[in-house]
Amino acid sequence: MTDLIDLPRPLLDVHRSALGRPWRERGAETLQAAAAIAQSHGLPEVLARILAGRGVAPPDVPGFLEPRLRDLMPDPAVLVDMEAAADRLARAVLRREQVAIFGDYDVDGAASAALLAGVLRDLGVPFRLHIPDRITEGYGPNVEAVRRLAGEGASLLVTVDCGTAGHAPLEEAARLGLDVIVLDHHGAPETLPPACAVVNPNRLDDLSGLGHLCAAGVVFLTLVALKRRLRRDGVEAPDLLAGLDLVALATVADVVPLTGLNRAFVRQGLAVMRGRGRTGLAALLDAAGLSEAPQAWHLGFLVGPRINAGGRIGDATLGSRLLLSRDPVEAAGIAAQLDALNRERQAIEAAAVAEAEALTALRLERDPDQPVIVAGSPDWHPGVVGLIAARLKERFGRPAFAFALRPDGTATGSGRSIAGADLGRAVRRAVEAGLAAKGGGHAMAAGVTIAAVDLDRFRDGLAEDLGASVGDARLAQALLVDGLLSAGGVRPDLVAAVERAGPFGQGAPEPVFALARHRVADARVVGNGHVKAQLRGRDGVAVGAIAFRAAEGPLGQMLLRRIGRDVHAAGTLTRDRWRGGDRVELRLCDAAEAE
C-alpha cells in the first residue's frame, strides 16, 4: 500500500511523548519476512507488515488469518481431571440431579455460568445459579452459600471462574455430601481443595499448555467432553457452537491473551453474536446503542462494562440472568437496568479516580521510583476499585492497587498490572507471607483482602517482590508503531485490510499508526472526559480523532493546548458507520510535539 512509508528509528525522533514514552517501529527487523508474506499470499503490504511484526511466519499466514476451531481445538482430556468432571456431569444429566452453579460476579463468571446453565437447561437438568454479592460475600464460594445450595436440594456443586483456592467452603460441601467440580483458570496453590475434579489449566500439575484460556473457555472444553461422554450413553447434547458468543465475550472482557485457541473462540464467537440469536446479548447491544456488527473492542468497552456494572454496584445476578434470558421483554428490562447501573458506575468512578490520581501524584512527587502504587479510601465503592486501579496503572505506567477501606477495619482491593510484572503471583506470595488475608488472580489483574492497618506493609512487600520486574518492564515501555500514514491515507480500505489480522486484544495488540506533523485544526472535550480533534495534513486533508478519558490527562491537555499547531499523533483505526456513513477515525493513544 503506497501510503505506508518505511519508518526511521527512533520514530519521528519522539524520545518522550505526551505520555512519557519513546516511539519505536514495530517489526523493523521483519521487513524481509513481510515482503515474503505479501508476495507468497498476495496480501497488501500493510497487512503483511502487521503479520510479520507479530511473529507470524509465512507458512502460518492462512491459519492465522482464518483461525478455525477444528484446527485449534485440543482434546479436552489433555486437561487434568477433565475425564472425571465429564463423568460426574454426565451422571447428573442422566439422573436429573439438581446442579448448583456458583459463579463469579464479573463478565467471565457471568458468561461461564450462563454457558453451563444453558446447556443443562437444554438437557432438562434442574439447576440453581448463585452469583455472590461482591460486598457481602466477596469473591469465590463461601460456607453460607454452600449450605444454602445444599439445603435447596443440590447434590452437585460446580464452581466456575472461582473455587481453586476455596478450601474451607469446599470442605463444608464435602461434609454436607455435595460433590464438587471446579472449573477455573486462576493461579492455583500447591494444595488443591477437596473435589471430584479441579479442571484448571493453571494448576501446577497441568501440562496442557492452555493456561491462556479464560474460565468460559475451560467451561466450553468441559461441555465438549460432556457431549462426547453423553453420546456414549445415547444422549445427544445441544449445539455447543451457539455458545461461542459467550466464550468470545468472556475472553475479551477478562483480558486473557488473544493467541491460539482464544483467537478462534473470539473470531467465531463474534460471527455467532452477529446473528443476534442470544436474546439477552442482542438486548444489551441495543441498549449500548451499537448500530453496527460487533467487533472485539466493542465487547471490552461497551458490552463488558455494562454486565460488570451489576456485580460492581447493583445486583450481581443481572448479567447471568440476561445472558440466559429467552424472553425479549425480560431481556430488554434487564439490559436497561444494566445500562443505567453503568452510567451510575461511571459517575462514582470519575469522582474516585480524580481523588486517587491526586493522592498518587503527591506520593510519587515524594518517591518517584516506587514500583507499585497502592491507594485506598473509605469513600471508594468496593465495586469500582478495579477500575480505579486500571486508571492509575494507565496514568502512571506501573502496577496499581486500589482499596476500599471498610468500617470493620478490613480493606478490599483490586490490582492491575503492566506487561512483565505478574501481579497474581505476587498476591499469592503476599498471602503466604501473611501480608494479606486472602487473594489471587492472574498476571494482569488480582484481588486481595487485607487489614487496613497493613496497607503500608502490603505496599512494601509488593515493592520488594515486583521491584526488579517492574523496573525492567518500565524501561522497555515504548509505543510500538506499525506504520506511518498521512490523513489522506486513512481510508476504509486500509481499515478493512488491517481488520483481517484481528481480533485484537491482550497479547494481540491492535496496529498503531502515526501521523507525522499534522495540525490540530480543532480539539474539544466531549462526553465523559473524552477529547475529540481534527488533524489536518500538509495536503489539506483532515481526519477525525478521539482520545478517550483524556481530558484531564497529559494527552488530552496537549491536544487542547496545541490547537492551530502541529503534533505527531499515534492511534488505532476504526470505522464510524453512524447514520449510514463510512468514515475512518483515529483512536488516539499518544501524541508528541512536532516543532
- The 10s digit of each residue's pLDDT in 240-290 is 999 999 999 999 999 899 999 999 999 999 999 999 999 999 999 999 999
**H or E segment and range at residue 536:** strand 530-536
pLDDT at 5 over 80: no
Long-range contacts of 263-267 (CB under 8 A, 24+ apart): 263/64, 263/67, 263/72, 263/503, 263/508, 264/67, 264/68, 264/69, 264/71, 264/72, 264/73, 265/69, 265/217, 265/220, 266/296, 266/503, 266/505, 267/67, 267/502, 267/503
Residue 223 CB partners (closer than 8 Å, separation 6+): 115, 116, 119, 237, 240, 243
Residue 215's pLDDT band, with cuts at 50, 70 and 90, is very high
Grouping H, G, I as helix, E, B as strand and the rest as coil, residue 72 is helix
Lowest-confidence range among 24-38, 163-177, 265-279?
24-38
Q: In 3D, which of 147, 113, 108 has the Cα closest to residue 248? A: 108
> What burial letters (b/e) apply to 131-146, b meaning 16+ CB within 10 Å?
bbebbebbbbbbeebb
Residue 395's pLDDT band, with cuts at 50, 70 and 90, is confident
CB atoms within 10 A of CB 468: 11
Query: For all residues of the chain together, what is the average pLDDT?
Result: 93
pLDDT at 312 over 80: yes
Query: Tens of pLDDT along 351-387?
Result: 999 999 999 999 999 999 899 999 999 999 999 999 9
pLDDT at residue 506, as a whole number? 83
pLDDT at 4 over 60: no
Positive or negative, the Cα torsion across 51, 56, 59, 64? negative
State how beta strands 542-547 and 530-536 pair: antiparallel
pLDDT at 388 over 60: yes
Query: Tens of pLDDT along 96-126?
Result: 999 999 999 999 999 999 999 999 999 999 9
pLDDT at 581 over 80: no
Residue 441's pLDDT band, with cuts at 50, 70 and 90, is confident
pLDDT at 573 over 70: yes
% of residues, the chain, pLDDT over 70: 98
pLDDT at 541 over 90: yes
pLDDT at 315 over 70: yes
Q: Which domains does the chain have, with CATH numbers?
A: 11-64+479-593 (2.40.50.460), 72-340 (3.90.1640.30), 367-476 (3.10.310.30)
The C-alpha atoms of residue 488 and residue 482 are separated, in whole angstroms, by 17
Residue 442's pLDDT band, with cuts at 50, 70 and 90, is confident
pTM to 2 decimals?
0.89
pLDDT at 580 over 80: no
**Residue the block writes with cell 507499585:** 372
Evaluate whether 537 touches 515 at the Cβ level (below 8 Å).
yes
Residue 401's pLDDT band, with cuts at 50, 70 and 90, is very high
pLDDT at 28 over 80: no
Residue 6's pLDDT band, with cuts at 50, 70 and 90, is very low
Query: Tens of pLDDT along 542-567?
Result: 999 999 989 988 999 999 999 999 99
Query: Measured between alpha carbons, how far is residue 164 from residues 167, 191, 403 in Å?
Result: 8, 9, 23
**Residue the block writes with cell 479436552:** 76
The C-alpha atoms of residue 331 and residue 283 are separated, in whole angstroms, by 6
pLDDT at 408 over 70: yes
pLDDT at residue 577, as a whole number? 66
Q: In 3D, which of 347, 416, 351 has the Cα closest to residue 377? A: 351
The C-alpha atoms of residue 205 and residue 178 are separated, in whole angstroms, by 25
% of residues, the chain, pLDDT over 90: 82
Crossing angle of helices 455-476 and 423-432, rounded to 10°: 150
Residue 70's pLDDT band, with cuts at 50, 70 and 90, is very high
Query: Tens of pLDDT along 475-517?
Result: 778 899 999 999 999 999 999 999 999 999 888 889 999 999 9
pLDDT at residue 552, as a whole number? 87
As a whole number of angstroms, the longest Cα–Cα distance in the chain is 75
pLDDT at residue 1, as a whole number? 41
The C-alpha atoms of residue 207 and residue 293 are separated, in whole angstroms, by 37
